[in-house]
Amino acid sequence: MKIELIGLENIPIINEKVDLSKVIIDTLEKQKHSVEDGDVILIAETLISKSENNIIELNKIKPSEKGIKIAKKVGKSPELIESILKESKEMVAIGKDFIITETKHGFVCANAGIDESNVESGFATPIPTNPDESALKIRKTLENEYDVKLAIIITDTQGRAFRNGAVGVAIGSSGIDPLWKRKGEKDLYGRELQTTEIAIADELSAAASLIMGQANEGIPIVIIKGFKNFKNLRNAEKGIKSLLRPKEQDVFRK
């Protein structure tokens, strides 16, 4: 089995609200890429936030006393810290140069997922307001345009507990079950799997991240072709929530 990763190049710089579906369609046509049943299209979350005009203008943020105090600890601007607090429903831990929070969406990550890269100086992009809804809207538009069944995954770059470095992860999805439950299947020796669950949306996001990069690559959209398990995992209803571990099951926050 093989898969193919195609990065869409020359995506226009987006600094205001636009119809991202139209941008994708125009780019596909210009670059002569086909769209087929089972394609998975992965989109960087910064592109979603910018296209929805979901941008933080830091010099307009008035820091609270709490924000100022935390800023001194972590070495970030009080305006950024205040933005992080506003995007969070719980502060989990404070590190040397970051804060771990649970965002309003339920993601536990550094700095509430707020990103200062690939945006003009003095601005930052938070995680999209509703990544699943954004993915659903784009999927329906593209499926109607090309008469195919697709999956859309919104990706972010996040660190992981106990390991250095960051990887691509999924923060929104539509058209595919993000969690592949393989309980009951057999391993190579015929033993029945008891608990195995694969975060397939994260695995696809990590693969796309190889093409997207983290610096000036300028490839915020990647198409994955040839993912053979698409039919098994096709789901037009589920979003990303099944990947989020409930707090009561999180042994590190009990």
Q: Along the 254 residues of the chain, how does pLDDT read in single tens digits?
A: 789 999 999 898 888 889 999 999 999 999 999 999 999 999 999 999 999 999 999 999 999 999 999 999 999 999 999 999 999 999 999 988 899 999 999 999 999 999 888 788 899 999 999 999 999 999 999 999 999 999 999 999 998 888 999 999 999 999 999 999 888 888 888 888 888 899 999 999 999 999 997 656 689 999 999 999 999 999 999 999 999 998 888 888 86
pLDDT for position 35:
96
pLDDT for position 254:
67
Assess contact for 81 and 67: CB atoms under 8 A.
yes
How far apart (Å, rounded) are the C-alpha atoms in residues 18 and 7? 21
How far apart (Å, rounded) are the C-alpha atoms in residues 113 and 132? 16
Query: One-letter amino acid identity for 194?
Result: Q
Other CB atoms within 10 Å distance of the CB of residue 231: 10
pTM score of the predicted model: 0.94
Looking at 2.60.40.1660, 3.30.1330.100, 3.90.1640.10, 3.20.20.70, the CATH number of the domain 4-54+129-249 comes to 3.30.1330.100
Distances (CA, A) of 111 to 101, 121, 172, 182, 215: 7, 18, 18, 33, 19
Distances (CA, A) of 13 to 17, 55, 99, 198: 11, 14, 29, 34
pLDDT for position 213:
75
pLDDT for position 97:
87
Print the SS3 string covering the chain. Answer: CCCEEEEECCCCCCCCCCCHHHHHHHHHHHCCCCCCCCCEEEEEHHHHHHHCCCCEEHHHCCCCHHHHHHHHHHCCCHHHHHHHHHCEEEEEEECCCCEEEEECCCCEEEHHHCECCCCCCCEEECCCCCHHHHHHHHHHHHHHHHCCCCEEEEEEEEEECCEEEEEEEEEEEEEECCCEECCCCECCCCCECCCCEECHHHHHHHHHHHHHCCCCCCCCEEEEECCCCHHHHEECCCCCHHHCCCHHHCCCCC
- The residue extents of the domains of the chain are 4-54+129-249, 56-123
Tell me the CATH number for domain 56-123: 3.90.1660.10
To the nearest 10°, report the CA torsion of 227, 230, 236, 239. Answer: -60
How far apart (Å, rounded) are the C-alpha atoms in residues 146 and 139? 11
Backbone angles phi, psi at 145, to 5 degrees: -65, -40
